[in-house]
Amino acid sequence: MFLATAALFLAGLTQAQNSSYASLQQGNTIATEGLVANTSRYDTILRVDNGTYGPPVEEVHYFYKYWPVGIAVSGTGRLFVTYSRGQQDYTVGEVVNMTAETPYPDASTNLPVDQLNTTFNTIPFGSANSSGLISAQALYVTPNTSTRPETLWIIDTGRPTINTMTPSGRMTQTMPYSQPGGPKIVGVSLDNNTIYQTYTFPPSVHFPDSYMNDIRFDLRPGREVAYIVDSSNEGRTGFIMLNLTDGSSWRRLTQHPSTLRVYNDVPSYQGHPFYYRVPGQPLSHQQEGLDGIQLTPDGNYIYYSPINSRYLYRVPTASLLVTDDDTPLAEQQVSNNVTNLGMRGGEANGFEGDNNGLILIGSLFVSVVC
């Protein structure tokens, strides 16, 4: 059996500044240590980072068996990862050394593979189990407050992948629809490694074809809200807001142009066209929509973007927090307040931010953090 090895790298990030071509020449004020010009590996007139520019890269963990999806680090340095389920033994793990993880919070909470799916009239659906972990996507750690311990929040999509072998010996992958109870947000206390909070969603908020992808929290008194990305490959993208106090939830910007995938987008990777490849299926385009999300330190704005869009958007959180009980025009109001901030240089995936308000974007098709 082929065993793929992937290494996780955590590196210091430096803020890049725009400059003219001339400023990239050797001898100007820009630092050039660790940068190389035209080589057989970097066939470009521009200078690129060979891995030694800025703080040194630190190898933290090697993944031998599964490909990680979500990563989170606690205040004490504990490292947690997720694996979107197919045939994996568990969906959330904690790194215990350079080469091993253990199921988290324990093995019994991670449902076994034979309990991930069910069928109705031969149609497959994800499990409706609201207490076990089915297929986790993203993780997020919030610090301890006067009312909550330091918490590892887990997005459980409730939609595991089904791998099927065709008669010709080719592996195909499908993702069944979810059913109420399966998709959930789970809060695990890092003080005692136990689940203390679970939120599920009504079908009017989390559709069967929804796919919760990422999450951010505003735990200030009077807010206590989570903002969740629904990146649905089937096309009903948007935001889900979750009131952490009473468990109520609602949607905004469903199928808004700023949250939808870009039709037939063909990004490039190292100068080559990049198509979406699924085993046993024809070449296609990335169907995932809204993906990256970051909340400003003051909690007033959310920055976001679809995974295959070159544009960055912003919306006031005050608009997202208006419910239909407040006004029947809530959806129109938030749509009117979306701002297109222009192009950002390419497609991007994960977003993160710092206390200074800087937003860090993983620009996967040019292999940089910007």
**Cβ-based neighbour number of residue 124 at 10 Å:** 15
Q: Please name which of 296, 312, 307 lies closest in space to residue 344, comparing C-alpha atoms.
A: 312
The contacts of residue 109 (CB under 8 Å, 6+ apart) are: 103, 131, 132, 133, 195
CA distance 114 to 219: 37
Specify the pLDDT at position 366: 66
Cβ count within 10 A of residue 341: 11
Q: How far apart are CA 203 and CA 123, in angstroms?
A: 18
Determine the pLDDT at residue 203.
95
In DSSP terms, which residues pair with 242 in a beta bridge? 226, 249
For residue 43 the two structure tokens come to: 């066939």
Reported pTM = 0.82
From first to last of the 370 residues of the chain, give the pLDDT tens digit.
333 333 333 333 323 322 322 223 333 333 444 444 444 455 566 556 666 666 777 888 998 888 899 999 999 999 999 998 778 899 999 999 999 999 999 999 999 988 898 888 888 888 999 999 999 999 999 999 888 999 999 999 999 987 776 677 776 778 889 999 999 999 999 999 999 999 999 999 999 999 999 999 999 988 999 999 999 888 789 999 999 999 999 999 999 999 988 887 787 777 778 787 776 677 877 777 788 899 999 999 999 998 888 889 999 999 999 999 999 999 999 999 999 999 887 777 788 888 888 888 777 666 667 6
Q: How far apart are CA 350 and CA 369, in angstroms?
A: 10
Contact 358, 300 (CB under 8 A): no
SS3 354: coil
Mind listing the pLDDT tens digit for each residue in 198-209?
Answer: 999 999 999 999
Spatial CB neighbours of 39, under 8 Å, sequence gap ≥ 6: none
Question: What does the alpha-carbon distance between residue 183 and residue 208 come to, in Å, rounded to a whole number?
Answer: 9
Find out whether 257 and 315 touch, Cβ atoms under 8 Å.
no
Q: Which CATH superfamily is domain 214-370 in?
A: TolB, C-terminal domain (2.120.10.30)
Say which amino acid occupies 318: A
Structural domain boundaries in the chain: 65-200, 214-370
Q: How long, in residues, is the chain? A: 370
Please list, in sequence order, all residues whose beta carbon lies within 8 angstroms of the beta carbon of residue 214, skipping any fewer than 6 positions away. Answer: 137, 138, 155, 228, 229, 291, 292, 293, 350, 351
Regarding beta strands 225-230 and 212-218, do their DSSP bridges make them parallel or antiparallel, or are they unpaired? antiparallel
Contact 351, 303 (CB under 8 A): yes
Identify the pLDDT of residue 241. 97
Provide the greatest CA pair distance for the chain. 71
Q: What is the pLDDT of residues 13-62, one digit of tens each?
A: 323 322 322 223 333 333 444 444 444 455 566 556 666 666 777 888 99
